[in-house]
Amino acid sequence: MNSTSETPRVHRAFIALGSNVGDRVEMIEKACLELDKANIKVKRTSSLFETTPMYVLDQGTFINGVCEVETNLSPMELLDKLQAIENELGRMKLIDKGPRSIDLDILLYDQEIFSHERLNVPHNLMLERDFVLRPLCQLIPHERPPKSGKNANTYSDYLKALPPPEPTPYSTTPISPHFPSLYATDPKRPTHVMAILNLTPDSFSDGGTHSPTDFTQLTETVRSFIAKGATIIDVGGESTRPGSIPVGAEEEISRVVPAIQHIRQNIPEASNIAISIDTYRAAVAEAACNAGADIINDVSAGLLDPEMLPTAARLGKSIILMHMRGTPQTMTQLTDYPNGVIPEVSAELRNRVAAAESAGIRRWRIILDPGLGFAKHQPQDLEILRELSTLRMTEGLECLPWLMGPSRKRFIGNITGVKTAKDRVWGTAATVSASVSGGADIVRVHDVQEMSHVAKVADAIYRV
């Protein structure tokens, strides 16, 4: 085989992403799309971090992150392409290390050391910059700088050796332009209350309560949710309770899309709340997002519909990946965790995060849910509530926001002896408080007013 027909070598590179002008997250997401278009394949991304500027201090805060890419380009070709993307996106650099709408810097290229008057790899200043090492350590914490030897410091070692930045950078999960980002590592963040709006006749607790065709009642319900403290409304068109019967995408769409359109077009009070679509079907998620939903809430984390993760990536929406095994019909038989529920749930969620990233979903668009009651029995649900902080800090899951959905669940009824789901308010209150203590960012509830009060008091106790 001659050299002209050889397959070009694929190189692994790490690129720093930064912006502090305009819609910073949107600019970084546009840059990632342009990288993909240029055949610089974005394989993984870090979280995004809100960071204060270094060097030139009189400028706005940055959003910073890192992405891992695969490319056939040489270091100089890659640099030229990155600078072309910066220019295409309207970057203007008036002051060195000053404000910029987009900043794309090559940090690492394979394990090479490369020096040119325009480019040095590894990046000259990367080991002194928290805003570079913090996101890089989400991707390759245990790797070492090129040619440094097997006993040299890892990137994680270098990060730990830096003086703690002040203020601490917080991970940033964007939801929509009209809704505040989630800051999962901010110890003072408020807990969001997600109100459950099931437009189903057969949900375990509130089936038949909310009609998908009675818009007068829907308006009253949504206004009531908001007045009582809900900041997110989770709209569902198919029950996923144990043993539930699937209804099909067309029926599900017919239930949820008119309701979402009505909320967005006819309820002014809802202009600043987020809407999530509770579905495991890609077609339903897309129709709902086109109607005005901001978040996809998938109980299967993309396992029940192979099109879900690619669809979420294409739509650019944030997605809740919940831990479940099997289907709603089979999950109650899949509760064996021989290595422990926390290690196995965390490992299976890491796999779903990896699958989401492989589909093109950015890490900063991912929210996790350990799936209380889904392929878990009572002791396991209680252990998750008890050990949520451990789950959150598991390597590979750190800095991501978490949703907890304990509301009126069966294990609460088993403990309290309350057989009717809607009467499990007091037991639910205890689980919501435990969720906040463990670090949940969102609690998904039926009893909005009561749980809003619980969340506020729990925030006052634990979020300091």
256-284: b (≥16 Cβ within 10 Å) or e: bbbbbebbeeebeebeebbbbbbbbbbbb
Question: Please, are residues 207 and 170 in contact by the beta-carbon 8 Å criterion?
Answer: no
**Start-end of H helices in 228-281:** 249-266
Half-sphere exposure of 36 (CA within 13 A, CB side): 18
pLDDT of residue 243: 67
Give catalytic residues, as residue numbers.
409, 444
Only one residue has tokens 């070692």, namely 157
Q: What is the DSSP letter of 191?
A: P
Question: Please, are residues 185 and 171 in contact by the beta-carbon 8 Å criterion?
Answer: yes
Q: What is the pTM of this model?
A: 0.93
Strand 232-236 relative to strand 192-198, pairing: parallel
pLDDT of residue 100: 75
**Start-end of H helices in 89-161:** 130-139, 155-161
> What six digits make up the tokens of 47?
């979280």
Q: What is the DSSP letter of 458?
A: H
Half-sphere exposure of 259 (CA within 13 A, CB side): 27
Strand, coil or helix: 461:
helix
Dist CA 102 CA 233 (whole Å): 33
Burial class (CB in 10 A: 0-12, 13-18, 19+), 50: buried
Dist CA 397 CA 350 (whole Å): 7
pLDDT of residue 22: 86
Closest C-alpha among 109, 86, 99, 94 to residue 38: 86
Q: Cα angle at 157 between 342 and 42, to 5 degrees?
A: 70
> What six digits make up the tokens of 287?
């129709």
Dist CA 52 CA 214 (whole Å): 49
Residues, the chain: 464
> What six digits make up the tokens of 245?
């019967």
Spans in the chain with pLDDT lower than 70? 1-5, 54-59, 92-99, 202-211, 243-244
> What six digits make up the tokens of 464?
């300091």
Question: Please, are residues 350 and 391 in contact by the beta-carbon 8 Å criterion?
Answer: no
pLDDT of residue 90: 84
pLDDT of residue 448: 98
